[in-house]
Amino acid sequence: MKKLALLLLLIAFSVALIAETVTLEYWMWDPSIKDKVEKAIAKFEETHPNIKVNLTVMEPKNYWPKMRTLAFTKKLPDVFNMSSGYLEEWAKNKFLLDLTNYVENDLDKDKFFFNLFEAGKRISGTDRYYAIPFALVVTVLYYNKDAFDEAGIPYPDENWTWDDFLDAAKRLTKDKDGDGEIDQWGFWFYGRYAHVESWIYANGGRLINRETMRFEPDENALEALKFLVSLVKEHKVAPMPKEMKGIRQQDVFPRGLAAMWVDGSWNIENNRKIIGDKFRWGIAPVPVGPHGSKDVAYGWPDFVAISATTKHPKEAWEFAKFIAGEGLTLDMYMAGKIPSYKALTMSEEFDEVGKQPVEKGKVLRELASRKLLNSFTMGWSEWRGYGAAESMGLNGLIDAVLNGEMAFDEMLDQAYKNVNRVLKRYYK
Amino acid sequence: MKKGFSWYKPWHGWIFLIPTLIGLFVFRIGPIIFAFFMSFTDWNIMLQPTWIGLDNYKELFTDPNFYQILLNTFEFSLIYVTGTMVFGLLLAVLVNSKIKGIKFFRTAYFTPVVTSAVAVGIIWSWILSPKYGLLNVILEKWFGVTPPSWLGDAKWALPTVAFVQTWKMMGYYMIIYLAGLQNIPSHLYEAARIDGASKFQSFWRITLPLLSPTTFFAFTIAIIDSFRNFEIIYTMTQGGPQYASTTLVYSVYVNAFVFYRMGYASAVAYVLLGVVGLITWINFLLKKYWVQRIY
């Protein structure tokens, strides 16, 4: 009897071992694709019968406060979305699992745009991989093809210089109904990060000295800033930001108020919605500055990360790899977001033939393979002036110059003081 | 009748208050106390808070922008309190009549009060927009005046936002004053008319003095209310341009939920509490000098 009992126990134990399912918690920030993600999860569970994934979706504005609370109470989900803006803070505070071993030994690097992994390493401020990129956004030059045709100017391409740009902007700034007020501006911008940094990087410049982690714009960056300011003050091809108050900044170009605009590629969706068939428009890389080169781009990835305290690192890695790459389909990406999984970006579907902008596939693929630069640091929202704090920080200072309320040198003076005051708090 | 309620002791009343007291403590008093202690820490939500004593307050008082924010807060309150009380009274006098259909106007003036601040902010942002905004189109086409960018100009941003908030809330003070007006016995007006008083004299000598308790109430509420301006600023100017329309409340939000500096934000919130508390206390102290009672 004793032997039988022992045998039964052994069988039960091994059955339990084999049948042991691991449950993973996955949190993401895009409610609009919830169904599609659930389908992807079902597909994953089919090929990984011992792993079950529970999905939680949050609205973007609720996501971060909730995530931070979970980090504090040590109840982070196993796998979750991570943004470039916070990667450094989370990695350095040891909330993310170090994925370097997995990336180097268990990842088919050719299947991804590997430069995005490198960008992630740079952003984290460490020499380890802490997150898997699943999407990329870059900034592009949007231009109104009909306005270009009307003015007889050839369309921009990747070889456009700042002189080409300025020349076009001058010819595109028009007072169409003769009432003394400009109806179509050549260009539209303000102190926003996506508007300004694009030009700084296109000129080979930088805002932050990564060795000292202090605000130290170099010659090229200052040249870019001065160039932008001259567009409003000297050449008058762009309006003062305060003139466009009351209109959402992303609506200025699609409403035909400006013939050119530089901002993130994710605006393609809003452009399509507002422009419809009213005019033809296209995208091109940001014009190259006198000291810039064509092998860098201003962009940043969105990531999938794994909690450092997960109880199932191996299973979490399997799932994270899947949900950042092969598990995704193009319809999960907002127009203008670029998948990091090459199969998706290189597919014909990515070109979205029949929709504007017609050069979407070509331009975005080319930009996705460039070296990605950005100026994210800890405390970035505060010193740069982002979101609800847009009027503050560097954003507010640049706007003050553009609106004629502050001189350029005074702005720079204050910027040194204010930005470094914030940076000192995070980087001693 | 002895059996009635005689077995109730006085302290039994407290038992019935327990649900309310719990709610009051958990949702109001508890967070207020918690925020007090938080203001002496450095806490970014993710990590454990670290005690830093008065450092947050020191940083606050040496921040060059803080004084502008404080000034903005007072300026906003000044415009708001004056505006709502003057226009609230004006509207109340206007709707305090028995004309047919006057109820429609009472409702109409009150509607902005119950409309979402975000909706109000969006519509007014459009009206005040330099391009295509209704106001600027009228000013330019009919009056030939070139108006400033109401929300984009550093000089105008704060008064404009204060104006919109005043417009939104004046209906509330209208209701308060309306109640006060209707409590004034009409025989006083009749007696005044018989004695040959003009409308203006009636208003100045009868209405206003007898309204003083109402005015005191409205004044107290308006002061406290004037500091609650987050939504309108968030929707219209985001505190800009460059702190020109940032008030203490907006600063609390930005520091807590954009910069994740909970400790610092709590310190700002406590400064706000101190300011409101001080003004309200002064208000109550001065009450006996100008508030009259109706007997």
B72: closest CA of chain A, how far (Å): 15
Give domain limits for chain A.
17-136+298-372, 138-297+377-426
**Angle at alpha carbon of residue B120, lines to A403 and B100, rounded to 5°:** 135
pLDDT at B12: 83
Which pLDDT value is given to residue A168?
95
Residue B226's pLDDT is what?
Answer: 92
Chain A: closest CA distance from residue B247 (Å): 13
CB B172, CB B84: distance < 8 Å:
yes
**pLDDT at res. A15:** 63
Interchain proximity B154–A241, CB inside 8 Å = no
Interface probe with B: pick from A66, A95, A242, most Cβ of B within 10 Å: A242
Q: What's the whole-number mean pLDDT along residues B25-36?
A: 93
Structure tokens at B88: 């609230």
- Residues ≥6 apart with Cβ < 8 Å to A359: A282, A283, A284
Asked if domains A17-136+298-372 and A138-297+377-426 share a fold, the reply is yes
Record the tokens describing residue A334, joined without a space.
Answer: 């907002």
Q: Given pLDDT bands bounded at 50, 70 and 90, which one contains residue B51?
A: very high
How many angstroms away from the CA of A396 is the closest CA of chain B? 5
Residues 174-213 of B with CB under 8 A from A: none
CA distance A391 to B237: 8
CB–CB of A307/A80 below 8 Å? yes
Tell me the three-class secondary structure of chain B, residue by residue.
CCCCCCCCCCCHHHHHHHHHHHHHHHHHHHHHHHHHHHCCEECCCCCCCEECCCHHHHHHHHCHHHHHHHHHHHHHHHHHHHHHHHHHHHHHHHHCCCCCCHHHHHHHHHHHHHCCHHHHHHHHHHHCCCCCCHHHHHHHHHHCCCCCCCCCCCCCHHHHHHHHHHHHHHHHHHHHHHHHHHCCCHHHHHHHHHCCCCHHHHHHHHHHHHHHHHHHHHHHHHHHHHCCCHHHHHHHCCCCCCCCCCCHHHHHHHHHHHCCCHHHHHHHHHHHHHHHHHHHHHHHHHHHHHCCCCC
Task: With a cut of 70, say whether residue B295 has pLDDT above it.
Answer: no
Question: What pLDDT sits at residue B15?
Answer: 87
How far off is chain A from B50, nearest CA to CA, in Å?
13
The verdict on a CB contact (< 8 Å) between B258 and A388 is yes
Q: Are A296 and A370 in contact (CB under 8 A)?
A: yes
Instruction: Name residue A168's amino acid.
Output: A
Say whether B130 and A246 touch across the interface (CB within 8 A).
yes
pLDDT at site A20: 74
Of B128, B224, B121, B234, nearest in space to B173 by CA? B224
As a CATH number, domain A17-136+298-372 is 3.40.190.10
Contacts of A405 in chain B (CB under 8 A): 154, 241-242
Q: Is the peptide bond before B241 cis (omega within 30 degrees of 0)?
A: yes
Neighbouring CB atoms inside 10 A of B163's CB total 17
d(CA B285, CA A211): 58
Determine the longest span between alpha carbons in chain B, in angstroms.
Answer: 84
Q: What is the pLDDT of residue A16?
A: 58
Are A379 and A426 in contact by the 8 Å Cβ rule? The answer is: yes
Q: What is the mean pLDDT of residues B83-95?
A: 93
Contacts of A386 in chain B (CB under 8 A): 258
Which stretches of chain A drop beneath a pLDDT of 50?
Answer: none
Q: Would the pLDDT of B7 be above 80?
A: no
**Cβ-based contacts of A379 with chain B (< 8 Å):** 259
Q: List the structure tokens of A267.
A: 């605006």
Is residue A413 within 8 A of residue A403, CB to CB? The reply is no
Q: What is the mean pLDDT of residues B77-91?
A: 94
Contact A403 B241 (CB under 8 A): yes
Q: Do A403 and B152 touch (CB under 8 A)?
A: yes
CB A138 within 8 A of CB A340: no
Minimal-distance CA residue of chain B relative to A387? B258
Q: Which residue from B minimizes the CA distance to A62?
A: B257
Overall CATH class of domain A138-297+377-426 = alpha beta
What residues 387-426 of chain A have any CB closer than 8 A to a CB of chain B? 387-392, 396-397, 399-400, 403, 405
* Domains annotated on chain B, with CATH: 66-290 (1.10.3720.10)
What are the chain A neighbours of B239 within 8 Å (beta carbons)? 388-389, 391-392
Q: What is the mean pLDDT of chain B?
A: 90
Residue A340 and residue A136 in contact, taking contact as beta carbons nearer than 8 Å = yes
Searching chain B, which residue's CA lies closest to the CA of residue A67? B46
**CB of B254 less than 8 A from some CB of A:** yes
ipTM above 0.90, yes or no: no
B180-219: pLDDT as tens digits: 998 888 888 889 889 888 888 888 888 888 898 899 999 9
Task: Look up residue A335 and give its amino acid.
Answer: A
* Cα gap B252→A349, rounded to integer Å: 46
pLDDT tier at B5, thresholds 50, 70, 90: low
